[in-house]
Structure 1
């Protein structure tokens, strides 16, 4: 069942103004962990509904809504990386990964885009719309991006593309130019905190701050019940040193690199903010350590470290060696604080 979250209500109302002259492609963008995928699937369901409600929501009772709920709507296609499909299978207890020789791909591949050809060349059911949902758009590899671009340049009649992205700067400018961009909001802290508490999340404030204010990411982390990996990194960042960097890198080489870089980026933000304003956003649990470091680190070195972390984020999905990647990241930070 597709849902809307409380912080998406205003965006939903704004979106209804596009229904009169619907663009052939809409690119929804915003921070990760705020529910963009749920939002666009909710919209897809509403576009296909045969008895859409005055507020723009699907009726939930027509044949089209029934097909959508069952995942068998003939005029709907969803494209996402194989890794995301496997996550859903795991949640549903259908573990198919055991028989796979290779790890599931984190990319959207050209075959997935080419497979849309037959779908887009046949008549729609009951003369309605045809809807393609694709996320995250930054997972498109270059051949897939070029194939999608050709489709967006000559869109089939009656077809709407709904794309979602966490990072517009990772998309081809030509794809951006072919889509109507629609921003989805980050909830304010109080609203996100209230929602997490309503879901029964313990220590919701800390989880929310550590995930940069993204409530779904905070809930996912809280459900693991463990901060062990994050705290291992934060303990090193609080007490940097060459020997500690090498030991920490050895212990953390199996942790997703994108997560490590994100944790470090937030730490650097807190360190910078603490030095300039005395404020700490992400890791108030480490207030004493951050203030001690802020007293001695030089602003120019800190700015260079922030720039380096941003650049490192772009390569974290495809490192030549995870251990060397982490060593380089931590030794650069050690030099910054030295």
Structure 2
């Protein structure tokens, strides 16, 4: 992260400072995935707990509170997120590779919300605020959502909830109604591209376009280094056939299924967008192939294919057989295009 906030967040940070004089008990930060919302609210959480905040609202980085925060053991701070995200961070930080008996949950569970009860019922360490950071809000399962709602309906004094969401339509309306909503900006293409180049991301423009303009998502995909797999998949989408579907399914079994479905969703969106408006958002490198498909596929077939991709995305994390899942997805696509 360059500086204390990303370059495209500076105006949002200044706007946020106007809320501090009459601090809401809950703020819901919302915007596209991969634009740095989690980092932004972590910065704000540290600033709220800091004992010597700077004139621009950032934490000083020097006081005892900032020291505790940096060491992730501040007594007045809690972070709630799915187990799977905790595991990702542990892997990045070189944590032990422990074999787990079950797959880490991608949901926020009711036990995690209930664990806040003791935290919110004891005095703060330095008579300041308690801060709870929770993301993504759409990760709350229904029991956890209801438990959080009860807390937000009767917020404990001196406690601030900083919540983040990539998709407001997947959050309970009753939770939305009890939070002050704060829109997070999408960077311009030029801003995001400049930042990626500063980070040394190769082929930055292609990655950025393929991730819909989200710079952190682009950086993450580039770091994973699956360009060869993506290009193989896109080549199949550009020239579909039954033989190609089976060959591609066999080759890409190790790629996360959610990634494959996302790549296909973006491809279908580009075909649909080109057919209706002559625009391509995600894969401009394949303009000729996308234009050819747009000319020959009927709108009703495209709509059905997009609907099928959305349904597959919902079950991509729990397939009965990854290979059969990919084959089924690609054969359906082939049938749509021929």
TM range (shorter): over 0.9
Q: Which residue is 1:109 aligned to?
A: 109
C-alpha distance in structure 2 between counterparts of 1:331 and 1:168, whole Å: 33
- Structure 1 position 267, deviation (Å): 0.6
- Contact 1:33 / 1:216 at 8 angstroms: preserved in 2? yes
- Structure 1 position 321, deviation (Å): 4.4
Deviation string 1:278-306 (CA, Å, 9 cap, x unpaired) is 33221122222212212211223223322
1:198 correspondence with 2:202: no
Aligned residues: CA RMSD? 2.0
Q: Which residue is 1:24 aligned to?
A: 25
Gaps of 5+ in 1: none
Tell me, what secondary structure is at the counterpart of 1:98?
A: coil
- Structure 1 position 324, deviation (Å): 4.2
- Contact 1:30 / 1:186 at 8 angstroms: preserved in 2? yes
1:82 correspondence with 2:68: no
After TM superposition, the structure 1 stretch with the greater mean CA deviation from structure 2, 302-311 or 212-221, is 302-311
C-alpha distance in structure 2 between counterparts of 1:178 and 1:94, whole Å: 37
1:58 correspondence with 2:40: no
Tell me, what secondary structure is at the counterpart of 2:53?
A: coil
C-alpha distance in structure 1 between counterparts of 2:330 and 2:170, whole Å: 25
Tell me, what secondary structure is at the counterpart of 2:28?
A: strand
- Contact 1:3 / 1:38 at 8 angstroms: preserved in 2? no
C-alpha distance in structure 2 between counterparts of 1:99 and 1:73, whole Å: 29
- Structure 1 position 214, deviation (Å): 0.7
C-alpha distance in structure 2 between counterparts of 1:265 and 1:220, whole Å: 19
Q: Which residue is 2:42 aligned to?
A: 41
- Structure 1 position 325, deviation (Å): 3.7
- Structure 1 position 23, deviation (Å): 1.3
How do 1:149-188 residues align onto structure 2 when only pairs under 5 Å count? 149-188=149-188
Q: Which residue is 1:248 aligned to?
A: 248
C-alpha distance in structure 1 between counterparts of 2:263 and 2:115, whole Å: 37
Would you say how many aligned residue pairs link Structure 1 and Structure 2? Answer: 337
Deviation string 1:24-51 (CA, Å, 9 cap, x unpaired) is 1111111111111100000101111112
C-alpha distance in structure 2 between counterparts of 1:201 and 1:255, whole Å: 21
C-alpha distance in structure 2 between counterparts of 1:324 and 1:23, whole Å: 49
> TM-score, normalised on structure 1?
0.93
1:222 correspondence with 2:222: yes
C-alpha distance in structure 1 between counterparts of 2:178 and 2:322, whole Å: 36
